[in-house]
Amino acid sequence: MKELIVATKNEGKVREFRQLFSEYGIAVKSLLDFDEPIEDIEETGTTFAENATIKAEAISEAYNTPVIADDSGLVVDALGGEPGVYSARYAGEEKNDQKNLEKVMKKLEGVPVNERTARFVCAIAVARPGFETFVKEGCCEGSIAVEPQGQHGFGYDPIFIPESSERTMAEHTSEEKNSISHRHHAILQLEEWLKNQS
């Protein structure tokens, strides 16, 4: 089975990539599977695409091998697009999912349901030695719940209600999430390239 390196340390993403790529006969190796510790890569870009490129190219260049990376996050209209590229560190550098979603809930206190629109965005960069890096994006439209619900998934899933649903993403099974998520939509755009990998 073909193996792809995904330059992430996020266990939630790794779980989803394993499930999503298994459809293409591709196994996933993440930075959590490396024997040696991998230093955190600074995400200095101002867009998801830039940060995905930075992560994919850093690992591709270090190991001289093809690598993909995912930069993703939550974009809330009533917060002018926050937390956006700062999603992981919204409530501080410690990257705490619970504190991050509490900060969003607090900022949205009193904001009526019809003004709580938001989307999850995912940029996936493909970096290969000797080739130009390319990036594909996917998104999942929805809104921010009035209170957190559900145990599945990771990150902001307990407060995000996809527009196709009445439940939060964390109340969806992984199969359900993987059929509607921003990550799924980004991967669909990579499909042609992925089919040539297996």
Ligand X SMILES: O=c1nc[nH]c2c1ncn2[C@H]1C[C@H](O)[C@@H](COP(=O)(O)OP(=O)(O)OP(=O)(O)O)O1
Q: What amino acid occupies position 9?
A: K
Tokens 């955190």, residue located:
40
First-to-last alpha carbon distance for the chain, in angstroms, is: 7
Whose Cβ is closer to ligand X: residue 21's or residue 120's? 120
Q: How far apart are CA 151 and CA 149, in angstroms?
A: 7
Among candidate residues 35, 40, 70, 71, the one labeled active-site is 71
Stretch of residues binding Mg ion (CB under 5 A), selected from 80-88, 125-133, 163-171, 178-186: 80-88
**70 scored as a contact of ligand X (CB under 6 A):** yes
Active site includes 71?
yes
Q: Give the residue nearest to ligand X (CB).
A: 155
Could you tell me the smallest distance in angstroms from the CB atom of residue 88 to Mg ion? 5
Between CA 12 and CA 9 the distance in angstroms is 9
In angstroms, rounded to a whole number, what is the distance separating the alpha carbons of residues 143 and 79? 12
Q: With H, G, I as helix, E, B as strand and everything else as coil, classify residue 85.
A: helix
Measured distance CA(84)–CA(66) in Å, rounded: 27
Residue selected from 4, 5, 13, 58 as contacting ligand X according to rule CB under 6 A: 13
In angstroms, rounded to a whole number, what is the distance separating the alpha carbons of residues 43 and 50?
8
Q: Is 56 in the site for Mg ion (CB under 5 A)?
A: no
What residue 162 binds from ligand X, Mg ion, none (CB within 5 to 8 A, per partner kind)? none
Residues that bind ligand X (CB under 6 A): 8-10, 13, 43, 70-73, 87-88, 100, 120, 153-157, 181
Residues that bind Mg ion (CB under 5 A): 88
Residues known to be catalytic? 71
Annotated binding site: 8-13, 42, 71-72, 154-157, 177, 182-183
